[in-house]
Amino acid sequence: MRPACAVLDGEALRHNLKVVRAQSSAQIMAVIKANGYGHGLCWSARNLPEADGFGVASLEEGLALRAAGIDRDICLLEGFFSAEEIPLIIQERLAPVIHEHHQIAALQRYAGPGAFDAWIKIDTGMHRLGFAPDEVRAAQAALEALPVIRRIGLMSHLASAETRACPETTHQIATFRTLAETAPRSLANSAGILLWPQSHHEWVRPGLMLFGASPLPDADGPTLGLRPVMTLKSRLISIRRRHAGDAIGYGGAYRCPEDMPVGVVGIGYGDGYPREFRRPPSVLISGRRAPVVGRVSMDMVTVDLRSIPEPDIGDEVILWGEGLPVEEVADAAGTVPYTLLCGLTQRLPRWPAA
């Protein structure tokens, strides 16, 4: 069997939730959309017994959590996409975000039984989802008039919370304060929790930081006291001595500068390890860094083993996680840790840490 796998540390997840608690007295809506940022939707929910609620992207994710026996608050961060979802939302006690007129119209047409809690999304400056500031009062009044709506919360999202002393964020927070006159209110994502205490309100919405990665460009997870939940691992499946001038892998993209050992790791872009890099990343073998050389293949990665004292077939290789922050690999790939974690493919097995 292929040795590639993601080892998941539930204790680290619970630890990171405590880090959020230490930063904020607000209730915590743990955002576990996109298959729990690649860690597994239900695994993430089960390993967050202290979360006050969950945030997911869609009805199917909410239903999967209910089917797994999760009975806490579940917010659908993009609400419903069609009116047919309304009965299921009621039946499964989900709380959708209402951000568009078509959703209000669908609720006004709904004549069935039952009711649910909802959030109104306010566009305070991100210009993605939400009612414009001058539409909020009318949207709120329209929803309050509907028997299908129980309690209404007010939500917005920060566009640049990871930037310290950002005037746009200050402006978003001020706009939100003016418009969101009633609790519950929710504005802060991970970066908001870490850098903008005035954005916390009644509910914070951490995603990335729960999984141990930092949303801030100038600090990694361990620096913030977070622990990586996932360690992406595989093993050396081949070690060969190559000669000076030998070209390695597809397109011969790397040429050995001298006689040297080159290892092959059993993992590739078919598992979600990135293929495009702006500078070569490293992997971790026996606690030391070995640079990736040549192109990443679908199932294999070649590494320069010159820095590893006595490499052996079967040696464990860490691609990111414990000892090698995913932020570092993301930076080498010119991306953010979000895309690497979410980009892991279905064939990659996820194992709970022993």
Ligand X SMILES: *Cc1c(COP(=O)(O)O)cnc(C)c1O
Active site residues: 33, 250
Report the amino acid identity of residue 251: G
* CA 222 remoteness from chain centre: 17
Give dist(CA 180, CA 186) in Å, integer.
9
In the beta sheet, which residues pair with residue 241?
Answer: 261
Kindly state whether residue 153 participates in binding ligand X, applying the rule CB under 6 A.
no
As measured in angstroms, the least distance from the Cβ of 307 to ligand X is 34
Kindly state whether residue 173 participates in binding ligand X, applying the rule CB under 6 A.
no
Give dist(CA 54, CA 48) in Å, integer.
9
Report the amino acid identity of residue 343: G
Give dist(CA 259, CA 322) in Å, integer.
31
Q: Which of residues 304-343 bind ligand X (CB under 6 A)?
A: none
Q: Which of 62, 153, 207, 311 binds ligand X (CB under 6 A)?
A: 207
Give dist(CA 262, CA 245) in Å, integer.
13
Q: Which of 39, 99, 157, 233 binds ligand X (CB under 6 A)?
A: 157
Asked whether the bond before 49 is cis by omega within 30 degrees of 0, the reply is no
Cα-Cα-Cα-Cα dihedral sign, residues 85, 90, 94, 96: positive
Q: Which of 149, 208, 237, 340 binds ligand X (CB under 6 A)?
A: 208
Per-residue b/e over 333-344, b at no fewer than 16 CB within 10 Å?
A: bebbbbebbeeb
In the beta sheet, which residues pair with residue 288?
Answer: 285
Nearest residue to the partner ligand X, using Cβ: 207
Q: 251-280 mask for ligand X (x: CB under 6 A)?
A: ------------------------------
As measured in angstroms, the least distance from the Cβ of 224 to ligand X is 13
Please report where in the chains the tokens 């009116």 appear, as a residue: 83
**Residue 325 — φ and ψ, nearest 5°?**
-60, 135
Please identify, using beta-carbon distances, which residue of 143 and 194 lies nearer to ligand X: 194
As measured in angstroms, the least distance from the Cβ of 73 to ligand X is 14
Q: Which of residues 29-58 bind ligand X (CB under 6 A)?
A: 31, 33
As measured in angstroms, the least distance from the Cβ of 208 to ligand X is 4
As measured in angstroms, the least distance from the Cβ of 77 to ligand X is 5
Please identify, using beta-carbon distances, which residue of 206 and 281 lies nearer to ligand X: 206
As measured in angstroms, the least distance from the Cβ of 190 to ligand X is 3
Give dist(CA 70, CA 126) in Å, integer.
31
Please identify, using beta-carbon distances, which residue of 91 and 339 lies nearer to ligand X: 339
- Contact segment (CB under 6 A) with ligand X among 135-143, 203-211, 256-264, 308-316 equals 203-211
Q: 180-199 mask for ligand X (x: CB under 6 A)?
A: ---------xxx--------
Residue 132's region, left for phi above 0, alpha for psi from -120 to 50, else beta, is beta
Which tokens belong to 299? Answer: 């199932």
Please identify, using beta-carbon distances, which residue of 128 and 137 lies nearer to ligand X: 128
Rg, Å, the chain Cα set:
23
Give dist(CA 263, CA 48) in Å, integer.
38
Q: Which of 205, 233, 235, 295 binds ligand X (CB under 6 A)?
A: 205
Please identify, using beta-carbon distances, which residue of 119 and 269 lies nearer to ligand X: 119
Q: Helix or strand or coil: residue 197?
A: helix
Please report where in the chains the tokens 């951000």 appear, as a residue: 99
Please identify, using beta-carbon distances, which residue of 208 and 264 lies nearer to ligand X: 208
Kindly state whether residue 77 participates in binding ligand X, applying the rule CB under 6 A.
yes
User: 260-265 and 301-304: which strand pairing?
Assistant: antiparallel
Count of residues that interact with ligand X, criterion CB under 6 A: 13
- Contact segment (CB under 6 A) with ligand X among 206-214, 238-246, 275-283, 312-320 equals 206-214
Kindly state whether residue 118 participates in binding ligand X, applying the rule CB under 6 A.
no
Please identify, using beta-carbon distances, which residue of 18 and 279 lies nearer to ligand X: 18
List of residues contacting ligand X (CB under 6 A): 31, 33, 77, 157, 189-191, 205-209, 215
